[in-house]
């Protein structure tokens, strides 16, 4: 059996509670948790079952850390991922990798320069429901794709939430819109045009409500919507010339997944048993580090997602 990989975490965000079981499921170890507040770091380490807590610098300097998970606010992803690469640590960074094209490019360059792996934590891509979707499209079951519709929305009114902080580079496009852009790019490729609207309906200094249309050389269109102003929904529909696919819980899938397929074989709903996407993501990261097996969400992909988001915001 290979030696377990040893992880450090930068940040004490709630998302850590999703990644911790994934680290354990992979047979890996959580060595240290880092925070700007040392007391908070120590409390989180005790809560998470880590060996110790420390500062961000302590995590980077730790000789018993192979990989770092970054769950910090968006504005801090680039500086700390670059420093982690300089320290020789592999990095799994929460989405978005960084909130600009330039920052993503700088992070990728640092990882390449220091010969470490950098992965964007779009865990949804690892869920088996998406293999079903891709296989159905690739087999021609719904014909050429003409429309893709992706929506990720929920209501947010807590002005203390970092998602509503301009200083921390929040906003609906970076928090949930990035999923919609990512899935459209994954399934349709790079758009030839982007027309978007991004509104700040709360006067928070960040976008809270938006929609965009992406054009493709094939004639396909992607219609994307994201919001902190609407009832919770996370649905992707792919409409082809002869059929369609509806992914009913597209991105954060905690229970059984349901994928509706309407094609020449009829109208059916495939049920995929509950699966931990985070565990599959960490397992993929492990294989990348140990054997170089490519992951579904390399950091090099993030620059293109951010280019679309920039065009959406500027549209």
Domains in the chain and their CATH numbers? Answer: 6-124 (3.40.50.720), 128-274 (3.30.360.10)
Q: Of 33, 127, 110, which is closest to residue 72 (Cα–Cα)?
A: 33
Pairing mode, strands 266-272 and 257-263: antiparallel
pTM: 0.96
- C-alpha to C-alpha distance for 250 and 265, rounded to whole angstroms: 23
pLDDT (tens, 9 = 90+) of the chain, 315 residues, equals 678 999 999 999 999 999 999 999 999 999 999 999 999 999 999 999 999 999 999 999 999 999 999 999 999 999 999 999 999 999 999 999 999 999 999 999 999 999 999 999 999 999 999 999 999 999 999 999 999 999 999 999 999 999 999 999 999 999 999 999 999 999 999 999 999 999 999 999 999 999 999 999 999 999 999 999 999 999 999 999 999 999 999 999 999 999 999 999 999 999 999 999 999 999 999 999 999 999 999 999 999 999 999 999 985
Measure the CA–CA gap between 126 and 190, rounded to whole angstroms. 21
CA angle 259, 262, 265 (to 5 degrees): 115
Helix (H) or strand (E) holding 118: strand 118-121
- For residues 64 and 83, is the Cβ–Cβ distance under 8 A? no
- So which residues are the catalytic ones? 95
Q: Which of 246, 13, 260 is nearest to 150 (CA)?
A: 246
Cα–Cα distance between 311 and 315 in angstroms, integer? 6
Measure the CA angle with vertex 78, ends 75 and 79; round to 5°. Answer: 95
Residue with tokens 């929609």: 211
pLDDT of residue 314: 86
Q: Give the tokens for residue 279.
A: 């565990």
Contact 69, 7 (CB under 8 A): yes
């Amino acid at each position: 059996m290979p030696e377990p990989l040893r992880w450090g975490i930068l940040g004490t965000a709630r998302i850590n509670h999703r990644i911790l079981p994934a680290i354990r499921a992979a047979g890996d170890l959580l060595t240290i948790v880092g925070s700007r507040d040392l007391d908070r770091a120590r409390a989180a380490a005790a809560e998470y079952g880590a060996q110790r807590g420390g500062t961000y610098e302590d995590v980077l300097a730790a000789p018993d850390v192979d990989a770092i998970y970054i769950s910090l606010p968006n504005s801090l992803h680039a500086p700390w991922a670059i420093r982690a690469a300089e320290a020789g640590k592999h990095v799994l960074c929460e989405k978005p990798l960084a909130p600009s094209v330039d920052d993503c490019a700088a992070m990728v360059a640092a990882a390449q320069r220091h010969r470490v792996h950098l992965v964007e934590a779009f865990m949804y891509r690892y869920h088996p429901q998406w293999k079903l979707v891709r296989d159905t499209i690739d087999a021609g079951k719904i014909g050429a794709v003409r429309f893709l519709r992706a929506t990720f929305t929920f209501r947010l009114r807590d002005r203390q939430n970092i998602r509503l902080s301009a200083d921390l580079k929040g906003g609906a496009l970076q928090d949930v819109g990035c999923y919609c852009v990512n899935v459209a790019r994954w399934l349709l490729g790079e758009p030839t045009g982007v027309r978007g609207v991004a509104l700040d309906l709360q006067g928070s200094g960040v976008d809270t409500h938006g929609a965009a249309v992406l054009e493709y050389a094939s004639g396909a269109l992607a219609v994307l919507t994201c919001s902190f102003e609407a009832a919770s929904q996370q649905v992707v529909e792919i409409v082809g010339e002869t059929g369609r696919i509806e992914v009913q819980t597209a991105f954060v899938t905690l229970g059984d997944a349901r994928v509706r397929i309407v094609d020449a074989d009829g109208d059916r709903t495939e049920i995929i048993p509950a699966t931990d996407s985070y565990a599959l993501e960490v397992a993929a990261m492990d294989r990348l580090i140990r054997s170089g097996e490519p992951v579904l969400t390399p950091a090099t992909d993030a620059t293109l997602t951010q280019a679309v988001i920039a065009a959406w915001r500027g549209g």
